[in-house]
Amino acid sequence: MLYNYAYKINEQERNDNKLKIAFLFPGQGSQKVGMGKDIYQNYEEARKIYNRASEILGIDVTKLCFESSEEELGKTQNTQVALVVTSLAILEILKQNNINADISGGLSLGEYVALIYGGYINFEDGIKLIQKRGYYMQNYVPEGEYQMSAVIGMDSKKIEEICNEIDGFVVPANYNYEKQTVISGEKEAVEKAKERLKQEGAKRVIPLKTSGPFHTNKLKEASELYRKELEKVKFKTGNKSVMKNLDGSLYSDKDDFIDILANHIISPIRFDKEIELMKNEGIDLYIEIGPGKTLTGFIKKQNPDANVMSVSTVEDINNLISKSKEW
């Protein structure tokens, strides 16, 4: 769905091609059964992406996205593949219509779509990596009950202090925007932290639809196994700017991609810093590509004047293509 598309582009900006666009790709938790189905049915470009991914991975990605149960789709190894392929299918339609971005990024697994778009990883390697990443993150979690919860309305520094005081394992995992941080860890410790956070002034603490203590050291074994998969991949020289979750900076050809993406699994996500980077880069329009409005929602919270759009349906795509003719 499109929303907050209220800005005007003056004639000089249009002529000088100064409209700066960011593409953003969602992460785990945004999935829903049926996502991308109308796009698959209406666009040959999308069908090619789904079918090619299915052939590479040896699974029916369309069945996974369109016909599985919420429980089946919610399994990490399924979620990651389904979300990435859906975002790539939409992205391909936009590219075919000459809609491109000056900068791109994603939340956790969404960063891989950005890396494929930016030319750092080819399609086949990226899809295979995501399948392996999801498998390790689902199957190499230490025994125990874990929880991730979003803390709203509290400064991240205060959240860090409270987590450090809790008896048990709980740490900040996703810094979504300046007033929302996700904590992750052992369920009992997360529940203790929840009570303290509310006492100290947090507006809300909301459990998330995730199945593991992601972006914490609890996934160290998964990270180490995944590193071996990364070592098999030949990373390329990129041709577009892509943001890093680790610190909110831009990828460089000199970066150690193996080290960054292995640590990506166990390190906190700094999407708040990416929001600041995009603002400083003078982005005019933020487009979330894939199900939901999570990332554009984060941006609006931290930067209320931002112009944002989300694209997940045929109607959204058609509206965006129509608007792009004005640029």
Residues annotated as catalytic (active site), given as ranges: 108, 215
Q: How far is CA 1 from CA 38, 65, 110, 292, 319, in A?
A: 14, 19, 19, 9, 9
Q: How far is CA 4 from CA 8, 10, 64, 272, 304, in A?
A: 12, 18, 32, 21, 10
How far is it, in rounded angstroms, from Cα 234 to Cα 314?
34
**Token pair belonging to 111:** 């960063």
SS3 (DSSP) at 204: strand
Beta strand spans in 190-271 (E) = 204-207, 241-242
SS3 (DSSP) at 285: strand
How far is it, in rounded angstroms, from Cα 101 to Cα 117?
9
How far is it, in rounded angstroms, from Cα 325 to Cα 327?
6
